[in-house]
Amino acid sequence: MRVLAAVALALGLAARADAQSCNLPARVPFAGHNFPLDNPPVTQAMSPVDAFPGLPAFTRPVFLTFAPDGTNRVFVVEQAGFVWVFENRPDVTTRALFLDIAGIVDDTTNEMGLLGLAFDPGFATNHFFYVNYTASGSGCAAGSGLCTRIVRYTVPAATPNDADENSATPVMEYVQPFDNHNGGMLAFGPDGYLWISAGDGGSGGDPFGNGQNVNAVLGKLLRIDPLGDAFPADSRRNYRIPAGNPYAGGGGAPEWWARGLRNPWRFSFDRQSGDLYIGDVGQDAWEEVDFISAAERAAPPAG
């Protein structure tokens, strides 16, 4: 399937996301990034600058993004379930509450809450955006426990700074066995599909082996088409499976595109090259950055 070239604390690791286990006999160095560094880093004088000094302080902000509509507005996600919007200029002094779903978001522990936001590539005309958040109890399909929910909302054309909370359309949901390792990132890739980072389900050491379980969506990078619906009988499953996903034809969970992840908190597509970088939170002494080139991402999956 997919090969993830990883750099962990500047010491290279190679992780495979294919049908075989890694079984690496030793750490694989990543050229030019051994630890200690081949060459000492060049020090630079840096100091923090308050980009928007006139705005009130944010509470537990976890993400900042823009909408692809040419308005140059800034959107800030707060973990409790709020999204704020304001003009992208240094003298801005006011902000508007773009989305308030605090009443359905469960953020009772450190890694839970409203964690991701992505605007549809066609947002300028369809006004769709997507959020990733943790819920519990009646907020989950099972009616108990914890879950991650991917939900689509719409912004009325008449109120561009105020989304319609009643427009919620469930897209995807999956159970979380523990309250940590929720991933949480959402982003549309160069292919137009919605990519979702799903942690391994939590605790420590992946006790259920989700990361390498091809039948589980946990511990994976997911890829779906939220504008299609291959599951019309399921009101909480409103998406289509892209043909290029490894198990799109069966034999495993069709939603995932790469596996073997622990807690991929954030990922990003290079806007020029299309390369993909995943920030995967490590355990104890190691952190991990996974790299997937645009060519590898576009290649057909190996059987």
Phi, psi (deg, nearest 5) at residue 264: -70, 85
- Please name the residue that has the structure tokens 């605790």: 203
Confidence of residue 8 (pLDDT cuts 50, 70, 90): very low
Short-list 215, 211, 212, 186, CA closest to 199: 211
- Please name the residue that has the structure tokens 């900042």: 64
pLDDT of residue 10: 31
Tens digits of residue pLDDT in 246-282 = 999 999 999 999 999 999 999 999 999 999 999 999 9
Percent of the chain topping pLDDT 90 = 80
- What Rg, from alpha-carbon coordinates, does the chain have? 20
pLDDT of residue 284: 87
Short-list 150, 131, 154, 157, CA closest to 71: 157
Q: How many CB atoms lie within 10 A of CB 167?
A: 14
pLDDT surpassing 50 at residue 303: no
pLDDT of residue 35: 60
For all residues of the chain together, what is the average pLDDT?
89
pLDDT surpassing 50 at residue 11: no
Quick one: 273 exposed, middle or buried, by C-beta within 10 A (0-12, 13-18, 19+)? exposed
Average pLDDT for 176-180: 97
How far is residue 98 from each of residues 52, 82, 127, 153, 161, measured CA to CA in Å?
A: 18, 8, 13, 11, 5
Phi, psi (deg, nearest 5) at residue 297: -65, -35
How far is residue 104 from each of residues 33, 40, 168, 185, measured CA to CA in Å?
A: 44, 48, 12, 19
CB 233 within 8 A of CB 187: no
Beta bridge partners of 2: 17
How far is residue 210 from each of residues 20, 123, 160, 216, 253, measured CA to CA in Å?
A: 14, 34, 40, 6, 12
Distance from C-alpha of 267 to C-alpha of 290, rounded to nearest angstrom: 9
Q: Six-digit token pair at 59?
A: 């509470």
Distance from C-alpha of 146 to C-alpha of 177, rounded to nearest angstrom: 7
Confidence of residue 59 (pLDDT cuts 50, 70, 90): very high
pLDDT of residue 271: 93
Report which of residues 115 and 144 the model is more confident about: 115
Phi-psi map region of 281: left, alpha, beta (phi>0 left; psi -120 to 50 alpha): beta
Q: Six-digit token pair at 212?
A: 């390498």
Confidence of residue 3 (pLDDT cuts 50, 70, 90): very low
What residue type is assigned to position 90 of the chain?
Answer: P
Distance from C-alpha of 111 to C-alpha of 191, rounded to nearest angstrom: 29
Tens digits of residue pLDDT in 135-152 = 999 999 988 899 999 999
